[in-house]
Amino acid sequence: MTKRVFAVVLALFFCGTAGADLYVNISTTSGGGWPYSPYIITPNAGPDVPVWMPAQFDTFCVEMNQTFSPGKYRATIDNDILYGGDGLADLLSDDVKKIYAAYLNGALSGIDGNVVQRSVWGAQGYTWYSDPAINAAITDTGAIAGWNDVKVLNLWGGDAYTGVDRQSQLVMTPVPGAVLLGMIGLGLAGVKFRRFA
């Protein structure tokens, strides 16, 4: 039993899931006016940064009514929008995932970042608008490639999961590759256990 637990832990390590000690710096872009989108995430160097995470990437806020200041935050990568200490979670809209994938894939390159941000809020159910060009892009399967790999980068003040919810951002994760690495990790663990069993 202990060997199986070790194998699962090893697989999760190889998957590169974000631990509770992932820290990121978030800054705003200048010149566009409120809401200053896209935002820029720079992960802090360290062992808890997933190996697939870029050194810097653009992102958008998911929660319209949650404010933050540029700076350093504890972060977790989750499927849902989480809120500190109360056990509540909101599902991330599929349309939000598609908007972000289309943005990262360059399909929204002619659209101002603030328009993209407001469309993200609208797709998540807040009272805002959705841009017709964005609506067209998210129905193009080529433009939204990888949309199902979009996750929530939850930002926390204090402890992850129980601290203060500062904001929720978007991040694209390489799920197929992570699963492959996890399977390699399981295979390596199995070989090691067979050799010494």
Q: Return the residue matching tokens 């697939």.
A: 52
What confidence tens digit (pLDDT) does each residue in 107-135 have? Answer: 999 999 999 999 999 999 997 777 899 99
Give the pLDDT of residue 175: 52
pLDDT, position 181: 44
| pLDDT grade for 46, boundaries at 50, 70 and 90 | confident
Residue 154 phi, psi (nearest 5): -80, 130
Among 168, 190, 176, 170, smallest CA distance to 94 is for: 170
For residue 109, the 8-state DSSP code is: T
Orientation angle between helical segments 113-123 and 94-104, nearest 10 degrees: 160
Asked if pLDDT for residue 140 goes beyond 50, the answer is yes
Q: Tell me which of 31-45, 46-60, 148-162, 177-191 is least confident.
A: 177-191
**pTM for the full model?**
0.78
Write down the mean pLDDT value for the chain. 81
What is the residue extent of each domain of the chain? Answer: 19-174
Where is pLDDT greater, at 146 or 181? 146
Local structure of residue 2 (DSSP, 8 states): H
Phi/psi at 12 (nearest 5 deg)? Answer: -65, -35
Does residue 10 carry a pLDDT above 60? Answer: no
Residues 6+ apart with CB under 8 A from 31: none
Residue with tokens 């797709």: 123
Residue 127 is predicted with a pLDDT of: 78
pLDDT of 42 above 80: yes
Q: Is the dihedral of CA 53, 57, 61, 66 positive or negative?
A: positive
Of the candidates 148, 169, 158, 193, which has an alpha carbon nearest to the alpha carbon of residue 35?
Answer: 169
Task: Mention every residue, 6+ apart, whose C-beta is less than 8 A from residue 129.
Answer: 118, 119, 122
Mean pLDDT of 37-51: 93
> Which of these, 36, 154, 42, lies nearest to 92 by C-alpha position?
154
Lowest mean pLDDT among 67-81, 109-123, 177-191: 177-191
pLDDT of residue 92: 97
